[in-house]
Amino acid sequence: MKSTRIHLHHYVIVKAPGLLPMLYKICELSLELRIPDRTLRDWLKMGAPYLHDSGDRIWINGREFAHWVEGQRKPKNARKLTASQGYCMHCNKVIELVNPKTIPIQGKLVNIRGSCPECSAIVNRGDRLPSRSTGKTVSSTGQ
């Protein structure tokens, strides 16, 4: 089972959707995303889209790159966490939240905050409250 997860810096995730539908040179794009050239070259090797011109120069289409970044953020086998789980950035895995608290943010959005049972770091996860009750809740999906 091979899955190369690429660590995308927060700034890249925020910035990528704003990239223009133009061709960037490696040095331009790395400047734009505030990452070292070398990191960007690594991503190209790992599957980020780019073009080669006849002079052996590399060009990266901003929109295609943004699309790739988007794809990296959503692992195919992302599982839904249960209400009591969260992802610990320190342990790099899903953990059972210790003492989770639900903090309303806005509308149906809530933040669930608890701590990691292994390293005690604070773990936050965003969630969405179920739609306002329509009186019918289908909960029997099993056999």
Of residues 7-36, which lie at the interface with Zn ion (CB under 5 A)?
none
**Cα–Cα distance, 9 to 27 (Å, whole number):** 17
The number of residues that bind Zn ion (CB under 5 A) is 7
In the bound complex, what is the minimum distance in angstroms from residue 81's beta carbon to Zn ion?
A: 15
How far apart are CB 117 and Zn ion at their closest, in Å? 8
Q: Which of 44, 91, 98, 110 binds Zn ion (CB under 5 A)?
A: 91
Is residue 125 within 8 A of residue 87, CB to CB? The reply is: yes
> Which CB, 64 or 96, lies closer to Zn ion?
96
Least distance CB 92 / Zn ion (angstroms): 8
Return the H-helix or E-strand segment holding 33.
Answer: helix 26-33
Tell me which of 16, 19, 69, 116 binds Zn ion, using CB under 5 A.
116
- Nearby residues of 118 by Cβ (< 8 Å), 6 or more positions away: 88, 91, 95
> Residue 93 interacts with Zn ion (CB under 5 A)?
no
Residues 30-89 that bind Zn ion (CB under 5 A): 88
Single out the residue of 17, 71, 118, 124 in contact with Zn ion (rule: CB under 5 A): 118
Residue at shortest CB range from Zn ion: 116
Given a contact cutoff of 8 angstroms between Cβ atoms, the answer to whether 59 and 27 are in contact is no
Residues in the site for Zn ion, rule: CB under 5 A? 88, 90-91, 116, 118-119, 121
